[in-house]
Chains A and B, each alone.
Chain A
Amino acid sequence: MSETLTLLASFFPPDLKPSYLAALVPAFLETLGLVFGAMTLATLFSLPLALAVSMRIRGAGLLIHGLSVFRAVPDLTLAILCVIAFGLGPGAGLVALVLYYTAAMSKVFADLLETAPRGPVEALAATGASRLQVALYGLLPLTRADLFNYGAFAFECALRSSVIVGAVGGGGIGTELVGSLAGFDFQRATTQILMLVLLIAALDRLADWARNHPRALVGLIPFGLMAAWWCRPEFFALGHAFHVLGDMLPPSLPTDALQDLPRLVLETLWMAVAGTLGAAIIGLIAGLGASRRVSPAWLVFLTRRILELLRTIPEVVWGLVIVAVAGIGPVAGAWALGLHTFGTFGRLFADTLDHVPEAPGRAIASTGASRLMVGLYAVLPQSLKPVATHFLFRLEWNLRMATVLGLIGAGGIGQALYEAQQLFFYRQVMAYILVTAVLILAFDRLSRSLRARLNRTGGAAVSTGCLPSPAAAL
Chain B
Amino acid sequence: MSQIIRLAGALGALMMAYVTPMAAQAARAEEPLRVGMIPDAGATQVSIEEKAPLQKYLSEKLGRPVKLIIPTNYNATVEALGNGSLDIAYLGGLTYVKAHARYGAVPLVQRDIDRQFHSLFITGVGSGITKLADLKGKTFCFGDINSTSGHLIPELILHDAGLNPKTDFKGFRYTGSHPATAQAVAAGICAAGAIDESVFHALVNGGKIGKDRVKVFLKSQPFADYVWAARKDLKPDVREAFAAAFLSLKPGLDDAVLKILRGTKFERASDASYQGVAKTAKALGLE
The residues of A that contact B44 with a CB separation of less than 8 Å are 175-176, 179-180, 183, 185, 188
Do B79 and A234 touch (CB < 8 A)? no
Do A3 and B22 touch (CB < 8 A)? no
- Closest beta carbon of chain A to B115's beta carbon, Å: 25
The residues of A that contact B4 with a CB separation of less than 8 Å are 58-60, 62-63
- How many A-B residue pairs have C-beta atoms within 8 angstroms? Tell me: 157
**Cα of A56 to Cα of B11 in the assembled complex, Å:** 18
Residue A217 is within 8 A (CB to CB) of chain B in the complex: no
Do A179 and B74 touch (CB < 8 A)? no
Do B98 and A184 touch (CB < 8 A)? no
- Closest beta carbon of chain A to B41's beta carbon, Å: 8
Q: Which of A419-439 contact B (CB under 8 A)?
A: 419, 421-424
- Chain A 63-92 against B: per-residue CB contact (8 Å), 1 yes, 0 no? 100000000000000000001111111000
Residue A199 is within 8 A (CB to CB) of chain B in the complex: no
Do B45 and A327 touch (CB < 8 A)? no
- Chain A 320-339 against B: per-residue CB contact (8 Å), 1 yes, 0 no? 00000101110000000000
Do A182 and B175 touch (CB < 8 A)? yes
**Cα of A89 to Cα of B174 in the assembled complex, Å:** 24
Interface footprint category on B: 35 or more
Residue A26 is within 8 A (CB to CB) of chain B in the complex: yes
Residue A38 is within 8 A (CB to CB) of chain B in the complex: no
Residue A105 is within 8 A (CB to CB) of chain B in the complex: no
The residues of B that contact A176 with a CB separation of less than 8 Å are 44-45
Checking A3, A63, A87, A179 against B39 with a beta-carbon cut-off of 8 angstroms, the contacting residue is A179
Checking A23, A57, A182 against B42 with a beta-carbon cut-off of 8 angstroms, the contacting residue is A182
Do A179 and B47 touch (CB < 8 A)? yes
Residue A409 is within 8 A (CB to CB) of chain B in the complex: yes
Do A83 and B187 touch (CB < 8 A)? no
Residue B167 is within 8 A (CB to CB) of chain A in the complex: no
The residues of A that contact B83 with a CB separation of less than 8 Å are 84-85, 87, 237, 240-241
**Cα of A166 to Cα of B76 in the assembled complex, Å:** 12
- Closest beta carbon of chain B to A167's beta carbon, Å: 6
The residues of B that contact A413 with a CB separation of less than 8 Å are none
Residue A27 is within 8 A (CB to CB) of chain B in the complex: yes
Do A234 and B11 touch (CB < 8 A)? no
Checking A58, A88, A234 against B22 with a beta-carbon cut-off of 8 angstroms, the contacting residue is A234
With contacts A57-B7, A175-B72, A179-B47 taken as known, whether A184 is within 8 angstroms of B179 at the C-beta atoms is: yes
Do A179 and B43 touch (CB < 8 A)? yes
The residues of B that contact A364 with a CB separation of less than 8 Å are none
- Chain A 1-15 against B: per-residue CB contact (8 Å), 1 yes, 0 no? 001001100000000
Residue B149 is within 8 A (CB to CB) of chain A in the complex: no
- Closest beta carbon of chain B to A187's beta carbon, Å: 12
- Chain B 4-39 against A: per-residue CB contact (8 Å), 1 yes, 0 no? 100110010010001100110110000000001001
**Cα of A237 to Cα of B86 in the assembled complex, Å:** 12
The residues of B that contact A185 with a CB separation of less than 8 Å are 42, 44, 46
Do B22 and A87 touch (CB < 8 A)? no
**Cα of A241 to Cα of B146 in the assembled complex, Å:** 21
For A175, give the chain B residue with the smallest CB separation. Answer: B72
The residues of B that contact A183 with a CB separation of less than 8 Å are 41-42, 44, 47, 177, 179-180, 183
- Closest beta carbon of chain A to B232's beta carbon, Å: 12
The residues of A that contact B82 with a CB separation of less than 8 Å are 240, 243
Do A23 and B7 touch (CB < 8 A)? no
**Cα of A189 to Cα of B72 in the assembled complex, Å:** 15
Checking B43, B45, B46, B180 against A184 with a beta-carbon cut-off of 8 angstroms, the contacting residue is B180
With contacts A3-B188, A27-B45, A180-B44 taken as known, whether A88 is within 8 angstroms of B177 at the C-beta atoms is: no
Do A52 and B75 touch (CB < 8 A)? no
**Cα of A421 to Cα of B69 in the assembled complex, Å:** 21
**Cα of A235 to Cα of B28 in the assembled complex, Å:** 12
Do B73 and A59 touch (CB < 8 A)? no
**Cα of A210 to Cα of B127 in the assembled complex, Å:** 59
The residues of A that contact B188 with a CB separation of less than 8 Å are 3
Residue A124 is within 8 A (CB to CB) of chain B in the complex: no
Do A329 and B171 touch (CB < 8 A)? yes
Do B146 and A423 touch (CB < 8 A)? yes
Residue A230 is within 8 A (CB to CB) of chain B in the complex: no
With contacts A234-B85, A327-B139, A423-B145 taken as known, whether A59 is within 8 angstroms of B3 at the C-beta atoms is: yes
Residue B1 is within 8 A (CB to CB) of chain A in the complex: yes
Do A88 and B73 touch (CB < 8 A)? no
Do B1 and A3 touch (CB < 8 A)? no
Residue B49 is within 8 A (CB to CB) of chain A in the complex: yes
Residue A178 is within 8 A (CB to CB) of chain B in the complex: yes
Do B8 and A63 touch (CB < 8 A)? yes
Q: Which of B57-109 contact A (CB under 8 A)?
A: 69, 71-76, 78-80, 82-86, 98, 102
**Cα of A49 to Cα of B8 in the assembled complex, Å:** 10
Do A424 and B98 touch (CB < 8 A)? yes
- Chain B 110-150 against A: per-residue CB contact (8 Å), 1 yes, 0 no? 00000000000000000000000000000100001110000
**Cα of A7 to Cα of B80 in the assembled complex, Å:** 34
Checking B25, B74, B76, B184 against A83 with a beta-carbon cut-off of 8 angstroms, the contacting residue is B76
Residue A232 is within 8 A (CB to CB) of chain B in the complex: yes
Do A88 and B146 touch (CB < 8 A)? no
Do A45 and B76 touch (CB < 8 A)? no
Residue B176 is within 8 A (CB to CB) of chain A in the complex: yes
Checking A84, A168, A188, A325 against B73 with a beta-carbon cut-off of 8 angstroms, the contacting residue is A168
With contacts A87-B85, A237-B83, A409-B173 taken as known, whether A168 is within 8 angstroms of B76 at the C-beta atoms is: yes
- Closest beta carbon of chain A to B184's beta carbon, Å: 8
Please give me the 3 A-B residue pairs with the lowest Cβ-Cβ distance, nearest first: A87-B85, A59-B4, A179-B44
A interface vs B, CB < 8 Å? 3, 6-7, 20, 23-24, 26-27, 44-45, 49, 52, 57-60, 62-63, 83-89, 166-169, 175-176, 178-180, 182-185, 188, 228, 232-237, 240-241, 243-244, 325, 327-329, 409, 419, 421-424
Beyond A182-B175, A183-B41: 8 further Cβ-contacts under 8 Å? A58-B1, A87-B84, A188-B46, A233-B22, A327-B139, A327-B173, A328-B173, A421-B75
List 8 A-B residue pairs with CB atoms under 8 Å apart, sorted by A's residue number.
Answer: A87-B84, A166-B72, A182-B177, A183-B177, A237-B84, A237-B85, A409-B174, A422-B74
